[in-house]
Structure 1
């Protein structure tokens, strides 16, 4: 079986920080605090880039240890799922970049607030998806199903 690199734990924490930073930007946008909006957007951008770099480092670690994409279906599944998640995050960075440009170029407050709220919603969703992926990869899915079955019976 494919071992879960410890780096993924750090990456998970970094992605949580990114989502928190965007939520702080939402609160600041609603209050009209443009400097705090900018800080939240910049923090989210940098932490998201750190997450993506961390994911690439985890891939490199795994391939260096001989866990190659084509070695077996489990490896292929890992690279496919984490790669697709990374691509969605890259897409989110495009939206975050546009919103950030608006924050520095003096976008109308209501337009900026909407952009920040949409980015945060997308980020929170991607965080939720990552937490589900991470739980699945860590082998917690069976435990979760057992807990749910006990609660329902």
Structure 2
């Protein structure tokens, strides 16, 4: 259960950081200036979209927390045989880190009004994300060819389940990323483009964080780390 607690605490820390940047403690009735200059003073769609994404991330985080909980409880039984992590999975992880970093850079380009840089960054992030998904499928093929079928062992089933659920979330994010690319290509207005890029960057950072936690769990690093901590404390 320690793994789940740490994962939930991590999500709560990220959510707290995000909320801290949404000016929830601001007192707009004490501020002066043009109404449209303040958050919520103009169009309501940007904050609404951010809140909607925040709610979705919380729900998705809860789903992954439940999967992690089931994984940890199931691996304690005697019939559990860990799945060897293909080298391709580590390469895919680097690609996902790259896509998340590119979107962070693209967010800065959108804020500067760099239309060409924004389009290039979105396309690069999209290509990297597709490479990640294709790499995950190839990793599946490697495991199947090595005899690690879905029904061969509970650990095998969990590996395919975990990677599939994460991949589906990334695939859904590609739909939103594709819309952002189309909007940037058509020359959408700058505020809308900034919002789209910011939402995509937030979602990709979340998926990267979740994947790093899942990879640490699948590779056994996280469990070994907490076992070592328990031994040191006891």
Displacement of 1:70 in angstroms is: 1.0
Larger Rg: 2
Give the alignment partner of residue 133 of structure 2, picking from 52, 65, 88: 52
Aligned to 1:123: 204
Deviation >4 Å, runs of 4+: 146-153
Residue 63 in 1 paired to residue 153 in 2?
A: no
Residue 106 in 1 paired to residue 163 in 2?
A: no
After TM superposition, the score normalised by the length of structure 1 is 0.95
Number of matched pairs: 153
Aligned to 1:89: 170
Aligned to 1:135: 216
Distance 1:62 1:42 in 2: 30
- Larger deviation: 11-20 or 138-147? 138-147
Distance 2:115 2:136 in 1: 31
After TM superposition, the score normalised by the length of structure 2 is 0.63
Displacement of 1:143 in angstroms is: 3.4
More helix by share: 1
Distance 2:201 2:150 in 1: 32
Distance 1:63 1:92 in 2: 27
Bigger RCO (CA 8 Å, 6+ sep): 1
| Structure 1, gaps ≥5 residues long | none
